[in-house]
């Protein structure tokens, strides 16, 4: 088996080398003060309720009022000063906020938990006044990069399978991977009657039990399922790269704001 040193910034396939972002920049908070008429679905999205597409559904269902009148016209434009209401709450466009957390083990990737268990929101609750939410999920036992935002449209884009954002994980197994299994993963394996391909696979340590895996698929537990399918137990799973974002200068359990360039890369 050929051993390859795992380098998250290495060029792979058609991927371009990623420039290192300037982490000294201040938080990116895009002002959304309304100065002209904008489409109602965009107004709702800017208020952090949902994406524009989901906003269209709310409008069609008659769940949105403007100045007390139910609006079902998808092309309706909201003028400055008009009052938009959803579920008895007045909607106001928020500043766009983007946070990156290096998630520790033992936290749920949800905004709340009925059983009172720790969630990732406990780690970012004091980051900003805006109401942010996690983009996608990491298992409770999985560590690494997790993005937060109140930008519904960007969240929708990043979590849609067709966009296939790059993710790199460091995986620790309960036993060394065999040459045949290593090559089978690279050539593609079948899960639930569907062929699954990874973009790259590399040996990280000397005993062949720790690997780096690059994948663009966003399916639930896809990395663990790949190795479990071949008879391995994943003892540790750490997401070290998300899109163009890395864990550089971000200790476990800490968060930081994204720079303007980083947000543009994601969009």
Tell me the catalytic residues.
139
| Four-residue CA torsion sign, 183, 185, 189, 192 | positive
Q: Give CA–CA dist 62/248, Å, rounded.
A: 46
Closest by alpha carbon to 169, among 246, 237, 101, 253? 237
DSSP letter string over 5-60? ---TTS--TTPPPPPPP-TTSPP-EE-----S-EEHHHHHHHTTSS-HHHHHHHHH
Q: Give CA–CA dist 112/174, Å, rounded.
A: 32
Q: Give CA–CA dist 40/66, Å, rounded.
A: 9
Take residue 77 and report the two structure tokens written for it: 């434009």
Partners of 143 in the beta sheet? 238
């Amino acid at each position: 088996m050929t051993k390859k040193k795992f380098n998250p910034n290495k060029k792979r396939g058609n991927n371009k080398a990623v420039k290192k972002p300037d982490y000294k920049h201040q938080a990116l908070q895009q002002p959304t003060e309304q100065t002209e008429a904008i489409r109602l679905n965009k107004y709702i999205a800017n208020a952090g309720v949902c994406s524009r597409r989901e906003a269209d559904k709310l409008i069609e269902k008659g769940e949105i009022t403007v100045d007390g009148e139910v609006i079902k016209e998808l092309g309706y434009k909201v003028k400055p000063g008009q009052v938009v209401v959803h579920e008895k709450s007045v909607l106001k466009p928020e500043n766009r906020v983007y946070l990156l957390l290096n998630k520790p083990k033992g936290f749920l990737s949800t905004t709340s938990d009925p059983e009172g268990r720790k969630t990732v929101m406990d780690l970012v609750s004091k980051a900003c006044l805006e109401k942010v939410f996690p983009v996608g999920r990491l298992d409770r036992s999985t560590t690494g990069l997790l993005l937060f935002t109140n930008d519904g449209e960007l969240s929708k884009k990043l979590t849609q399978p067709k966009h296939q954002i790059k993710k790199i994980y460091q995986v620790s197994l309960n036993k060394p991977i065999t040459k045949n299994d290593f090559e089978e993963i690279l050539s593609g394996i079948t899960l639930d009657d569907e062929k699954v391909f990874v973009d790259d696979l590399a040996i990280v340590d000397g005993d062949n039990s720790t690997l780096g895996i690059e994948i663009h698929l966003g399916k639930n537990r896809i990395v663990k399922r790949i190795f479990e399918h071949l008879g391995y137990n994943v003892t540790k799973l750490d997401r070290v790269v998300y899109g163009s974002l890395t864990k550089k200068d971000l200790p476990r359990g800490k968060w930081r704001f994204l720079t303007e360039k980083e947000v543009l890369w994601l969009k």
